[in-house]
Amino acid sequence: MIWQREYYGAMKTNWFLTIIALCFTMSFIVAQYVAAGVFGFFGVVTVMQILYLKNVGKKLTLVNDKKRSRMFKGGKSEWELTFENTGFPIWNGQLRLHFHDAVKPLNNKDMSHTKLIEIVVPLTIGYKEIVTVKVPIEGQKRGLSRLKNLELTIPHLFGEGSVLLLHQPLLRMEQMVYPNIYTLKDNRKPSPLKPGDYEYKHSLFQDLFSPIGTRDYQAGDQFHHIHWKASARMQQLQTKVFTQVANESVLLVLNVVNHYSIISDLEERIEEVASFVDYFYREGIPFSLTVNVRSFGAVPYLHLPVGDGQKHRQQAMELLSVLSNNELTVPFNRMLTHLDTHENLPMTVIIFTHDSQELDKYIKKWSKQTQVDVRLSNSLGGDVKWQQPSLLSR
């Protein structure tokens, strides 16, 4: 069953029908046929009304396809609900929506109850008709907003009373609001000792799929790197020259625990990490992300493997968007120990934390093979500079 039905005013309608039946009977007995005809007409209308309320909405369906829209704070979107009706037409219906307050309606007349926002919109749909209702909304704060409840109230056509339809299946429409991002200024630090995708002329590695020219053959050049067409043209052996590439992958580590609770500046920290995620995406730098929030699986905390591109950025932003103050956390030192023993560290590790004391042994160990940047400041307000390793001199 798609809709759960609740009737209001049905008792009054039944009493009214009973009174009409009695009046019709008495009028017929005393031979008042005109009055009996009037009461009979009202009786027919009342019976039709009862049948209408019992059957209206039974063949009304909602297109409940899974859909997630994404925006930043202040961005515009809309709840889009498509109804198809193959039963009795619905007039003057009231559609009531409840959704989480990560988004808000563009008008200010709707009521907010705790963390749920309620909005009422009219709905009229005829027989064999498809109607799409659009509710414009705006991103209000970081988070995920889902349609929680959907109610449709269909009023009595000629009197008091109504039927309330409650949508039973889980609603699959969502609106996600990303954290704010800021402009980052940095100094890129690729490693010439590991192969990667970043063009770096001092690297020891070459991208064999990106030849950029030729040069004269030298003793020791590999045979399969000889450019035979160029050699024939120059009448001298020519060797292919390839782009030199280096590794500049980054691991972002976010600590959301301060003693036994979630950090007080969680929003600012998330915005800072999101700014790095956006920067790495725009620059094409591979990155991975870990947060000491409990997860189920092979990795006991939230972990996004290394990657790049639009899809990877989207996954990282979604992970950051749904973090809340009610998460089950993992001790920060346990997550660092797991990273140390189970992960191959990239060329740069950026750690966002409030306390660096428990990091000392990891910094000394990791700094021998990678660059470690510990960010203790939680102030953001515009352009933010990526400060290079600040604790290596301790």
Look at residue 46 and tell me if it is in a domain.
yes
Among 191-195, 228-232, 376-380, the minimum mean pLDDT is found in: 191-195
Residues 19 and 90 in one domain: no
Sequential DSSP letters for 112-145: EETTEEEEEEEEEE-TTEEEEEEEEEEE-SSEEE
Residues 68 and 174 in one domain: yes
**Which pLDDT tens digit goes with each residue over 157-182?**
766 678 899 999 999 999 999 999 98
Look at residue 34 and tell me if it is in a domain.
yes
**Which pLDDT tens digit goes with each residue over 267-313?**
999 999 999 999 889 888 889 999 999 998 889 999 999 888 899 99
Look at residue 87 and tell me if it is in a domain.
yes
Residues 18 and 40 in one domain: yes
Portion of the chain with pLDDT greater than 90, in percent: 39
Dihedral sign, Cα of residue 19, residue 24, residue 25, residue 31:
positive
Domain count, the chain: 4
Which of 83, 61, 84, 48 minimizes the C-alpha distance to 157? Answer: 48
- The answer, yes or no, to whether residue 119 has pLDDT greater than 50, is yes
Residues 237 and 278 in one domain: no
Range 206-232 average pLDDT: 66
Range 224-231 average pLDDT: 71
Residues 172 and 211 in one domain: no
pLDDT at 225: 67
The Cα-based distances of 282 to 213, 286, 315, 320 in angstroms read: 28, 11, 15, 18
- The answer, yes or no, to whether residue 26 has pLDDT greater than 90, is no
pLDDT at 18: 74
Answer for the pair 239, 214: CB distance below 8 angstroms, yes or no: yes
Portion of the chain with pLDDT greater than 70, in percent: 78
Look at residue 186 and tell me if it is in a domain.
no
Look at residue 193 and tell me if it is in a domain.
no
Residues 257 and 374 in one domain: yes
Q: Is 354 helix (H, G, I), strand (E, B) or coil?
A: coil
Of the pLDDT bands very low, low, confident and very high (cuts 50, 70, 90), residue 379 is very low
Residues 253 and 371 in one domain: yes
Distance in angstroms between the alpha carbons of the first and the last residue of the chain: 67
Strand 60-62 versus strand 76-85 pairing type: antiparallel
Q: Which tokens is 374 given?
A: 């510990």
User: Which amino acid would we find at residue 135?
Assistant: V
The Cα-based distances of 2 to 57, 58, 67, 147, 296 in angstroms read: 10, 8, 19, 16, 33
**Which pLDDT tens digit goes with each residue over 311-331?**
999 999 999 999 998 888 999
DSSP 212: E
**Which pLDDT tens digit goes with each residue over 331-363?**
998 999 999 888 778 878 999 998 777 788 888
- The answer, yes or no, to whether residue 28 has pLDDT greater than 80, is no
DSSP 88: S
pLDDT at 159: 64
Chain-wide mean pLDDT for the chain?
Answer: 80
Residue that the structure tokens 């020519």 belong to: 238
Residues 94 and 109 in one domain: yes
Q: Is 86 helix (H, G, I), strand (E, B) or coil?
A: coil
Look at residue 192 and tell me if it is in a domain.
no
Look at residue 394 and tell me if it is in a domain.
no
Q: Which of 119, 148, 178 is the last residue of a domain?
A: 178
Residue 72: CATH number of its domain: 2.60.40.10
Range 126-135 average pLDDT: 94
The Cα-based distances of 162 to 4, 66, 154, 263 in angstroms read: 14, 31, 6, 49
Which of 157, 141, 163 minimizes the C-alpha distance to 60? Answer: 163
Of the pLDDT bands very low, low, confident and very high (cuts 50, 70, 90), residue 203 is very low
Range 220-244 average pLDDT: 70
Distance CA 159, CA 332 (A): 65
Which of 86, 109, 88, 114 minimizes the C-alpha distance to 99? Answer: 114
Distance CA 219, CA 349 (A): 40
- The answer, yes or no, to whether residue 222 has pLDDT greater than 80, is no
Distance CA 273, CA 282 (A): 14
Sequential DSSP letters for 276-321: HHHHHHHHT--EEEEEEEE--SSSSEEEEEEE-SHHHHHHHHHHHH
Look at residue 120 and tell me if it is in a domain.
yes
Residues 259 and 323 in one domain: yes
pLDDT at 282: 87
Among 8-12, 89-93, 96-100, the minimum mean pLDDT is found in: 8-12
pLDDT higher for 362 or 216? 362
How many CB atoms neighbour CB 93 within 10 A? 22
Answer for the pair 202, 244: CB distance below 8 angstroms, yes or no: yes
Domain holding 223, by residue range, is 198-246
- The answer, yes or no, to whether residue 384 has pLDDT greater than 80, is no
Residues 165 and 280 in one domain: no
Residues 51 and 17 in one domain: yes
Residues 217 and 159 in one domain: no
- The answer, yes or no, to whether residue 393 has pLDDT greater than 50, is no
Q: What are phi and psi for residue 140, nearest 5 degrees?
A: -105, -40
Sequential DSSP letters for 11-42: HHHHHHHHHHHHHHHHHHHTT-HHHHHHHHHH
